Structure formats: structure tokens, C-alpha cells
Chains A and B, each alone.
Chain A
Amino acid sequence: MLDITNKTIFIYSNKDKIDRTIAHWETFRMASASDDHTTNAKRMSIIVTKGSLDWAYPPFILATTAAAMGVDVTMFFTFYGLPLLLKKLDLQVTPLGNPAMKMPVMGMHMAMPNIVGMLPGVTAGATVMMKNLIAKKGVASIEDLREAAIESDVKMIACQMTMDLFEYKLEDMIKGPTLGGAATYMEGALKSDINLYI
């Protein structure tokens, strides 16, 4: 009697083990299948090095669009691009040293002389102006594009060296990015069809 019970227990536990094994195998199979899919997909990597309001656009626009087109995207945030991962974004744009930046003034578009661009408050004013234009023209905010990037599984790597250099704290960053260095980037870049430095 005791023997049978033991056997039963043995059989049950064995069945449980088999079930678990099957479940494991199933998970593994699904994971490798999705890996295969990932391998077949085109890949793109972007090194994001700039964090001003204007320069933040190209990487996020390309990353989200590529992801929408079935591309596996990795963004590597380094130097001044790293603050784009901060929870609270405070992006600014300056006309200083940028003769190509024409701003709407009295019905026309004008570049600002550098001597004006350097005055206190001009950066803040230009930023407000740019943000108004962005909203008026139906251009997405960086916050929205970043959210869309995360939603569409764009991989984000925060440069560990920059974190140390500029004393950023992980708890001030959005959830999702992993930490990595040049080798981490290179591993992905070597397998990529497109590598951009922005």
C-alpha cells in the first residue's frame, strides 16, 4: 500500500517534471523562433550623441519608423545624447553658432546674429518658439517619440562611461535602457545593416 502510494507520488512528480520540461522546451522553442525572426529582420543601430531639442529628432524619428517597418533597432546613448534617457526632459535649442536656424520674425524667417544669440534668455525664447512650431505643425514631441520607441521594442543602451563621467544616476533615467559600453555597441553594429552616428 505504502509502496503503491510512493510509486504514485513518484509517477506524479515525474509527470510534473515532464510537464515542466515540455513547458521549458516550449518556451525555449518559442524564444529561438523569435530569435530566428530577429535574425532575419534587418537591423539598424544609431549612436545618439546630441541632446538638444533639434538634434534629438533624427535618431528618434528614424528609430521609431524603422521599428514600424520591421527593423530591429538599437540606440546607443552617449555623451550629450545620454540625457535623452532622463525621466524629465528639458530640451533646449540655441541659434548660437547656427546660421542655418532661421526663425519666424515679423512675417519672415531670419537667422539670429550670434551676438544676439548669446544674450541671456535668447536660448529660452528660441526653445519656446521651436516648441510652439512643433505643436502647431503636428510634429511629435520627443517624449512621445521616445515612448513610441520603447513601445515598439527599440533596444536602448545607456553608455556606462558617460553615466560615470557626467554623474548621471540610473534612478533618474527611464526604465528600459540597459547599460553598456563600446563593445556592447560594436557587437550589435557588426550585425547591423545600417549604422548611424547622429
Chain B
Amino acid sequence: MADQTLDAQGLNCPLPILKAKKALKDMATGQTLQILATDPGATADFQAFCRTTGNELLESKQDGKVYSFLIKRTA
């Protein structure tokens, strides 16, 4: 289970990223954040976000219209 969950459903670019960043900032290194989103662009964006910031994208999946991402704070 993730240490924290962020519900970004219904939010459009760039809000899921901005809210995820805000949540990650307050988390300890090694903790995990799960993000739920409905923005189809979020899949590519969270990959790019993690590659750039050095945080680890542990999981990226889709269940119907809901996208779920699991990020480990490493940076």
C-alpha cells in the first residue's frame, strides 16, 4: 500500500503533476505516493516527471477511465 494517496480525478493538465509534486515535497525519502487521475495525458506526463526529477515511477496502470500511478520519493 502507498504511504499516501492523491485523488486527482477530474483534474486536467498540469494539476495532477502540480498536486503530486506538492504531496511529494512533504513526504520522506523512500515513501510512496499513489495518484489517481482521469487525465489521459497523465500517463506520459508522470513518466516524464519522474525521469526528470529522479523520483521512481513504480507503477502506472489504467482501470477503465481511471489511471493510477505509484511514485516513490527518491529525489
Contact = CB atoms under 8 A, between A and B. Distances in A.
B12 A65 contact: no
A140 B12 contact: yes
B15 A68 contact: no
Interface in A48-70: 61, 64-65, 68-70
Contact of A61 (B11, B13, B21, B53): B13
Nearest to B14: A65
B17 A65 contact: yes
Q: Which of A64, A137, A138 has the most CB of B within 10 A?
A: A138
Interface residues of B, number: 16
Interface of A: 61, 64-65, 68-70, 137-140, 148, 152
Nearest to B10: A138
Contacts of A138: 10-12, 15, 38-39
Contact of B18 (A65, A70, A137, A139): A65
Contacts of A65: 14, 17-18
Contacts of B75: 70
Contacts of A68: 14, 17-18, 20-21, 49
Given A61-B13, A137-B12, A138-B15, 6 more contacts: A68-B20, A69-B52, A69-B53, A70-B53, A138-B11, A140-B14
A152 B20 CA distance: 13
A58 to B, nearest CB: 11
Residue from B10, B12, B20, B38 having most chain A Cβ neighbours under 10 A: B12
